[in-house]
Structure 1
Amino acid sequence: MTVEDVQGAWAIMPTPATDDASDWHATDTVDADEVTRAVKGMVEAGIDGILSLGTLGECATLTRDEKRKFIGTAVEATEGRIPFFAGTTALGTRETIEQTREAQELGAVGTMLGLPMWCAADMTTAVKFYKDVAEACPDMAICVYANHAAFRFAFATEFWEQVADIPQVIMAKYGAIPTLAADLAATKGQVKFLPIESMYLEAVKVDSEFCNAFWSSGAACDPSLASHIRDVVAAAVASNDFTAAEELIGEVGKTLWPLIPGGNNFDEFNKYNIGLEKERINAGGWMKAGPCRPPYTYVPEEYLDGARASGRGWAELAKKVKA
């Protein structure tokens, strides 16, 4: 893949779990039937690409056998119609390379790749990590998983300037809209920065020609809404009339805030990210994400109520825009 191939709505999907997945005794927790149904449904709903096995995808709590099963099932379900990226974040470079090579053998075209999570990396270590994985896996596209909280790394403009020299680094799961203009200038069109759907319009207003893709975990609540966001924003850019797009993004934002404890407590959200997102998806009703895998099985009930409201809100908005 190249940077030019990265466009539109990219779904972040969970790894569907069997009903016993929260039990540490369970050895095969991937619901393969739901993987197939959800991936096919995303393709049919017009999703442009899928990112998987990040935090929500429970990359840290799946066994290697379960990862293989999930990737193989998902790739088969795409039938080559859209690109599928399988996250291969691990504790060290050698393990990351093994998993990345295996994902490629199973048919993934890229990896959503975060930094090793034991020691916080400095700039030299972070850049070298991506260079080493790219050298070892030259035919695998890389989406940098730029999660500041998870990886305890700032992903500053200096970082982007250096990794832009790595040909395989073509995109990033990104959240730093205030620095987007500087990061775009530093990377000179070599890295496509994908914001969350609720921030997509802000990114488009920075550079409407280049910023034409976003990521969406809401797509697992109903992918048709993510595709609709893409189309409404594209129409706004073409007509230079952003009224409808701003209204839609405002409505999308309203569905997201209940997911965050207290509306803005991201420290608490980061403690319970997996459980909150999976409860949101389950409540949305489009996909069965299933329970969380241990040890991340506990979430305070009052937080879960917000997640359920978020999932229902997304589903209701999707129904509204279809009407």
Structure 2
Amino acid sequence: MARILLTAADVKGAWAIVPTPSREGASDWRATDTVNVDEAARMVNGLIEAGIDGILSMGTLGEAATMTLDEKLVFMKTIVDAAAGRVPVFVGTTCINTRDTIALTRQAVDIGATGTMLGIPMWCAPSLDVAVQFYRDVAEAVPDINIAIYANPEAFKFDFPRTFWAQVAELPQVVTAKYIGVSTLLPDLAAIKGRIKLLPIDFDYYGASRMDDSIDAFWTSGAVCHPLVSTTLRDVVAQARASGDWSRAKAFMGRLAPTAATLFPNGSFKEFSTYNIPLEKARMTAGGWMNAGPCRPPYHLCPEPYLEGARNSGRMWAELGKALEAER
């Protein structure tokens, strides 16, 4: 029996992008079976109970590039089982080539994942034709899974131009995208014609929502520092849109924005991208809501001042969450 797929209209609210929690010793290349399944299940269940609307996983900070195939399958099954159909769960299936990507995506279907968060294979910088054809091939080969395009220019050496969005919007399985920045948001929205729900990062959500009414969902890695911050952002923007009074949402962004200040080394997204995994995992663990564990090699090395900035970001996010709890 064919599975019922989501549409762009089904993607709403706060979508947590989660790490793959690891056991102690995971930074050693000799390590095997590194997934902390108990923490992974607790993380997903806690996010859902806190009101998160969807789960995105196994992207960059999810360490899809550094897990073995067996570890990927264990983690997929763990989080899909933990979610138990309560919210959509998208798992990353990007591999170094199309055929392996298709094979892993088919396994994700068998496990019960709602969708795949799919980036472009990372070796050569792709041309427009290569990028579009990759998504066409996966969509043709695995028609019964939703696709969230993972649009990270630094990771995939591709700028995701308007012509790309216009073409992938023709694929019915492509319903959403993990989107970075807002400088090209309006032209990209025009290109997709409502067929793909673009998800800005939580720090851009307020501004993006004011730019276009179709922006009613976002991705948030901060959710695992304290999920109440992410759900509050969702709710204050929804209230503002319904009432036309954006003052409370603007004030909340004034409290949220400073938590990003020390996350990006020297204020640089490019520098952050070089150390994305250790920075995000340090931030998440410092938040105290979960234990992301050590990073898998080779992306386990990072300058200590950068790590401390990330930890400070996580602590600030958690402090905001605790303040919101007290205000309830």
Fold match, TM over 0.5? yes
Supply the AA of the counterpart residue of 2:248: A
CA drift of 1:256 comes to 1.2
For 1:101, the equivalent position in structure 2 comes to 106
CA–CA separation in structure 2 for the residues paired with 1:243 and 1:90: 44
Aligned letter for 1:226?
A: S
Cα deviation digits, residues 265-286 of structure 1 (max 9, x gap): 2222111110000000010000
Alignment counterpart, residue 280 of structure 2, candidates 277, 282, 290: 277
Within 5 Å, give how 1:143-158 maps onto structure 2: 143-158=148-163
Q: CA deviation at 1:253?
A: 1.4
Query: SS of the counterpart of 1:178?
Result: coil
Cα drift, residue 321 of structure 1: 1.2
Aligned to 2:145: 140
Structure 1 partner of 2:59? 54
In the alignment, the residues of structure 1 paired with residue 144 and residue 153 of structure 2 have an alpha-carbon distance, to the nearest angstrom, of 27
2:271 aligned with 1:268: yes
**1:198-221: CA deviations, max 9, x gaps?**
10011111222x210000000111
Q: Conserved in 1, the CA contact under 8 Å of 2:102 and 2:142? A: yes
Q: Which whole-Å CA distance do the structure 2 matches of 1:188 and 1:292 have between them?
A: 39
CA contact (8 A) 2:228 2:324 kept: no
Structure-1 residue corresponding to 2:41: 36
- Is 1:227–2:245 an aligned residue pair? no
| SS in structure 1 of the partner of residue 143 of structure 2 | coil
- 1:23 pairs, out of 28, 31, 37, with 28
Runs of 4+ in 1 over 2 A off after TM superposition: none
Give the CA RMSD over aligned residues. Answer: 0.8
The two structures have a TM-score, normalised by structure 1, of 0.98
Give TM-score scaled by structure 2 length.
0.97
Indicate if the aligned counterparts of 2:139 and 2:173 stay in contact, CA closer than 8 A: yes
Q: How does 1:195-206 map to 2 (within 5 A)?
A: 195-206=200-211
Cα distance in 1 for partners of 2:181, 2:25 equals: 37
SS of the residue corresponding to residue 183 of structure 2 reads helix
d(CA) in 2 for partners of 1:305, 1:77? 32
What displacement does 1:176 show?
Answer: 3.2
Determine helix, strand or coil for the equivalent of 1:190: coil
Among 154, 157, 165, the alignment partner of 1:160 is 165
Q: CA offset at residue 224 of structure 1?
A: 1.7
Counting aligned pairs with the same residue, the percent is 56
For 1:273 and 1:196, locate their aligned partners in 2 and report how far apart those are by CA, in whole Å.
15
Task: Give the alignment partner of residue 8 of structure 1, picking from 5, 8, 13.
Answer: 13
Q: How does 1:167-186 map to 2 (within 5 A)?
A: 167-186=172-191
1:92 to 97, 100, 105: 97
Counterpart for residue 312 of structure 1: 315
Which secondary structure does the structure 1 equivalent of 2:262 belong to? helix
- 1:17-53 Cα shifts (integer Å, max 9, x gaps): 0011111111100000001110000000000000000
- Give me the whole-angstrom Cα distance separating, in 2, the residues matched to 1:139 and 1:252: 38
Aligned residues: 321
List gaps (5 residues or longer) in structure 1.
Answer: none
Q: Is 1:241 aligned to residue 245 of structure 2?
A: yes
Q: Distance in 1 between matches of 2:89 and 2:156?
A: 23
Unaligned runs of 5+ in 2: 1-5
Structure 1 counterpart of 2:72: 67
